[in-house]
Structure 1
Amino acid sequence: MKKLLLFLLTCLLAIHLAFPQPPAIRYQVAEPRLADSLDISHYAKKRGLRAGAMVFGLNMGVWTFDRFILKGDYAYINMHTIKENIKHGFVWDNDAFETNMFMHPYHGNLYYNSARSNGYNYWQSGLFALGGSLMWEVFMENEHPSANDVIATPIGGMALGEVTYRVSDLILDDRKGGWSRFGLEFAAFVVSPMRGLTRIINGDAWKRRSTSGKQFGVPNVSVDISMGIRTLELKDEILDQGMGIATEIKVAYGDRFDTEETKPYDYFSINANLNFQASQPVLGQLNIIGRLSARNLVDKPKHYLSLGLYQHFDYYDSDTISVSSAKTPYKFCTPASFGGGFIYQYKGLKNWDINAFAHLNAILLGGSLSDYYKVDKRIYNLASGYSTKMGADFIFKKEVFAISARYDVYHMFTWKGYSGEIDWRKIEPKTLNAQGDRSRAILHAVGLRADIRLRNRLYLTGTFMNYTRNTKYRYFSDVFSNSSEGRLMLTYKF
């Protein structure tokens, strides 16, 4: 009976993959409107002193909490620790995966929005994020400054920061008052704390104006929220432990087929998977693709093709499921990645639309699960390299059905390793300056997705995704691993 249940479940899940491309079928949250010139000018004034003070104050506030509340060993600093950090220079640290690859970019988003909410643009705000990161790494800890943090924090922070800034802009409305205004301001503060703090400092949080205050107007935005079951590792003996509740959020902001407005992040997509499953991290997946610039190559009634520059943020995390499967299925990320991409659309069929894309990216910093490197809190290799992403959507024009396919490949190279004769028993985690095992990892993420309309904006969504990792080590045996996961969910398209 259990094998039959597993077979039926696998057949259902094989319909679809929960992967990070924008939803094939989109509904508009609100009617698009251009930004008012009064709103653009009102929030365009640059306030450098305030932005710098907010970055400085953020670091001091976090350090005060770490030093006097948490009493963390790393927070006991003085002139000697600062001189030692400057003298020694940067190292590769051994913090946990979620700390280095998500929490640091999130912290970078706070630096970024300290400047973004004070009149600075995408690129200028990134410099403030870099400055805040350097200040923290060199001055605010008694550990040697981290090379990977100074890459992931500002660059990943730019992706998270611009997304949260624009989402908060959708929420705010300066025309409102009373409890309605309070609710909007509170929600925007939760999404972008430093923007919320800026509005409190300058009084915009309660000032009523004749215009909405939306700096970007109301773009073409769609939001999909899905909830259902997730199965990780489709194996008979661990089916019970490997199942849990899954939630997926997809946001598409702007029009990827419109290149008239090509300021950074005029178009972006977000995909976030939240898991409520024993032993698994709550944040299982986060993907952001933000367009920085683009131009049309072909724009005809049946064919559309554009070439653009994009920023990518990819985060995939899982943990050991049970004693029956004593392995971590997958763990990889690219918090700092940029590249070129083609977007194609074909409208020559009577009942179907076809959308396709292809990206080639440089990975400035990435991470991949290691089979041998287990130092302090780190079980992954830091790396750089490149990735390719390809995918296509097949959409029935009456919006009752869509099927999508995706294939991502990541090539990650760990350059700074350690001696093959290392004695792990004598290793001091704070002084081992290594990216991880000298290795080359090739990761494949392959999957399918289907959405079937049940009624109005309610869809049945199924996903199946397969992850493979082939890591070739310099001093150890090579390892090949293969993991699968699937989701069966109900999706509401707002």
Structure 2
Amino acid sequence: MIKRQIFLAYVLVAVNLCYAQVPIRHQTATPKDADSTDIAYYSKKKWFQAGTTAFGVNMGVWAFDRYIQKGHFAYISIKTMKENFRRGFIWDNDYMGTNMFLHPYHGNLYFNAGRANGLNYWESGALALGGSAMWELFMECEYPSTNDIIATPIGGMALGEVLFRTSDLILDDRRTGASRFGHELAAFLIAPTRGLTRIINGDAWRKRRTSGKQFGVPDISVEVSMGIRALELKDEIFDKGIGFATNINVEYGDRFEAETNKPYDYFTFKANINGQGSQPMISQLNITGRLYSMELIDNSKDFLSLGIYQHYDYYDSDTISDVSARVPYKFCTPASFGLGLIHKSKRFKDWDFNSYFHFNGILLGASLSDHYVVNDRNYNLAAGFSWQSGVTIAYKDIISVSSSYEGYRMFTWKGYDRDINWETINEKTLDAQGDHSQAILHAISLRVDLKLKNRFYLTGIGYNYTRDTNYKYFDDVFSKTSEGRIMLTYKF
């Protein structure tokens, strides 16, 4: 059991993180409630230490940027701080990976400074907001970023809670010696500010009668798939669209536990790691975390629950050919919340039928642009709404067919002037979300799993991505991309 928990922890680190219910579930370990002694010991709120740790994170990152990396943005002074307050927040032009993943990861460090010091999910989110505001207003000589002050704390809450619970899987205060060191090191790599807090408090080497796990042994399922991925942009020649890929799919908690009010007692996780030189290493990251749920129906025929969910969705690709300069797809929603339904039919003995539906508001999103290429950005920042649905039909643990559909409607309101002179514009002060536009995006998948032997399955997955962008000053653009994967899956 311990080895499987350690493997899961390293899986989450490897993909840096997730979504989608596991089609055929295999529990990695028998669930066990947390010990009340452990909960009481680690639940004491230490606001001052949490704030000091978040402050130290900012100072440490700034010192590295200033004295080691010598980044131009890290040369700060009282003058730059005053200028930041005078000018206020603007939309920046960094890479999508920087804005939509690295900033949320930074937010996770603040967040876990709070979680490791007894703060709950919401209190730690407030600490992440404070840490982000400190960085934006004081720690850079560039104007504070509107998108960063949204993505860093909110995306950081999603990544942070997943990483906090992942580190909890392997920590064990009963251990000593080399075994204890290995567990503490693994937990530190997964959740650095939690590991740092344990060192400061002496918990990293203090032996106790109980494990110290805040969530006990959860009901968790993990599957890893490896195989070939083929990416195609319709009507374009490609020579780099085929390569090796790894899929990670995790389901944490009981999806059919209706009455819950603790954030992330249930979450799903999905990631795709590429071995194609022409593609980003991580092309897909999805997290869906349940914040609250209630039971609507639970009888001999059906189960139905309604919940409030947080979503973090990230899709990225790059040009697939030296012939074509077009990018297949690029969109994400690091700050999204909404309502979700989960249904299960109990009508069949050997067949499992379950489905879900979510409708979300997007506070911050991004979609590929055909025209806005400024500094490091080739996408439009946006807000809007999305919907996600899926259904799975499985016969025992032998075969399953599952399908999912995600739709996004994103609006970019703050654009640039139609007659803008790009040769004279200052990219650092442009302050535009991108092109005046609205984009409709769809991601549809079909997956089949066939049992080969024991926990090994043959998996086939097909994806179809479409984007329809309506521009105010340009012609509308429609693009379509398909993708296929043939993989071998192992269910832990």
The TM-score with structure 2 as length reference comes to 0.95
Superposed displacement of residue 55, structure 1: 0.6
Which amino acid letter does the alignment assign opposite residue 230 of structure 1? Answer: R
State the distance in 2 between where 1:236 and 1:178 align.
60
Partner of 2:13: none
Partner of 1:15: none
Superposed displacement of residue 100, structure 1: 0.1
Superposed displacement of residue 261, structure 1: 3.4
Q: Deviations over 1:223-268 (max 9, x none)?
A: 1111111111177985652111101111111001002333000000
Paired residues of 1:383 and 1:435 also in contact (CA < 8 A)? yes
1:127 is paired with a residue whose SS is helix
Partner of 2:195: 196
Superposed displacement of residue 219, structure 1: 1.2
State the distance in 2 between where 1:151 and 1:205 align.
33
Superposed displacement of residue 179, structure 1: 1.5
**After the TM superposition, which of the residue ranges 235-244 and 52-61 deviates more from structure 2?**
235-244
Partner of 1:456: 454
- Does the alignment pair 1:53 with 2:52? yes
Partner of 1:95: 94
Which amino acid letter does the alignment assign opposite residue 416 of structure 1? Answer: K
Partner of 1:433: 431
- Does the alignment pair 1:322 with 2:331? no
State the distance in 2 between where 1:237 and 1:96 align.
25
Partner of 1:64: 63
Superposed displacement of residue 106, structure 1: 0.4
Partner of 1:219: 218
State the distance in 2 between where 1:20 and 1:444 align.
16
Identity of aligned residues (%): 63
State the distance in 1 between where 2:234 and 2:383 align.
33
State the distance in 1 between where 2:253 and 2:238 align.
40
Partner of 2:289: 290
2:195 is paired with a residue whose SS is helix
**After the TM superposition, which of the residue ranges 416-425 and 375-384 deviates more from structure 2?**
416-425
Partner of 2:412: 414
State the distance in 2 between where 1:463 and 1:492 align.
15
Paired residues of 1:113 and 1:194 also in contact (CA < 8 A)? yes
Which amino acid letter does the alignment assign opposite residue 176 of structure 1? Answer: R
Paired residues of 1:231 and 1:239 also in contact (CA < 8 A)? no
- Does the alignment pair 1:80 with 2:79? yes
Which amino acid letter does the alignment assign opposite residue 347 of structure 2? Answer: G
Partner of 1:38: 37
Superposed displacement of residue 33, structure 1: 0.3
2:480 is paired with a residue whose SS is strand
Superposed displacement of residue 185, structure 1: 1.1
State the distance in 2 between where 1:90 and 1:352 align.
54
Superposed displacement of residue 171, structure 1: 1.1
Paired residues of 2:369 and 2:378 also in contact (CA < 8 A)? yes
Superposed displacement of residue 207, structure 1: 1.2
**After the TM superposition, which of the residue ranges 233-242 and 472-481 deviates more from structure 2?**
233-242
State the distance in 2 between where 1:369 and 1:76 align.
32
Superposed displacement of residue 22, structure 1: 1.6
- More contact order relative to length (CA 8 Å, sep ≥ 6): 1
Partner of 1:6: none
Unaligned runs of 5+ in 2: 1-17
Q: Deviations over 1:347-383 (max 9, x none)?
A: 2123311111111000000000000000000000000
Partner of 1:400: 398
State the distance in 2 between where 1:223 and 1:301 align.
29
State the distance in 1 between where 2:207 and 2:235 align.
60
- Does the alignment pair 1:443 with 2:441? yes
State the distance in 1 between where 2:198 and 2:459 align.
40
Superposed displacement of residue 485, structure 1: 1.1
Partner of 2:253: 254
- Does the alignment pair 1:483 with 2:481? yes
Q: Return closer, same or farther for 1:239/1:327 CA change in 2, 3 Å cut-off.
A: closer
1:101 is paired with a residue whose SS is helix
Aligned-CA RMSD value: 1.2
Q: Deviations over 1:376-424 (max 9, x none)?
A: 0000000000001111000112x01111011110000001001111121
State the distance in 1 between where 2:66 and 2:238 align.
44
Unaligned runs of 5+ in 1: 1-18
**Mapping of residues 109-188 of structure 1, within 5 Å:** 109-188=108-187
2:485 is paired with a residue whose SS is strand
State the distance in 1 between where 2:345 and 2:376 align.
48
Which amino acid letter does the alignment assign opposite residue 209 of structure 2? Answer: S
Paired residues of 2:356 and 2:389 also in contact (CA < 8 A)? yes
Q: Deviations over 1:32-77 (max 9, x none)?
A: 0011000000100011111111111100111111111111111111
1:32 is paired with a residue whose SS is coil
Superposed displacement of residue 323, structure 1: 1.7
Which amino acid letter does the alignment assign opposite residue 214 of structure 2? Answer: Q
Partner of 2:7: none
Partner of 1:375: 374
Paired residues of 1:414 and 1:437 also in contact (CA < 8 A)? yes
Partner of 2:9: none
The TM-score with structure 1 as length reference comes to 0.94
Paired residues of 1:366 and 1:384 also in contact (CA < 8 A)? yes
Superposed displacement of residue 181, structure 1: 1.3
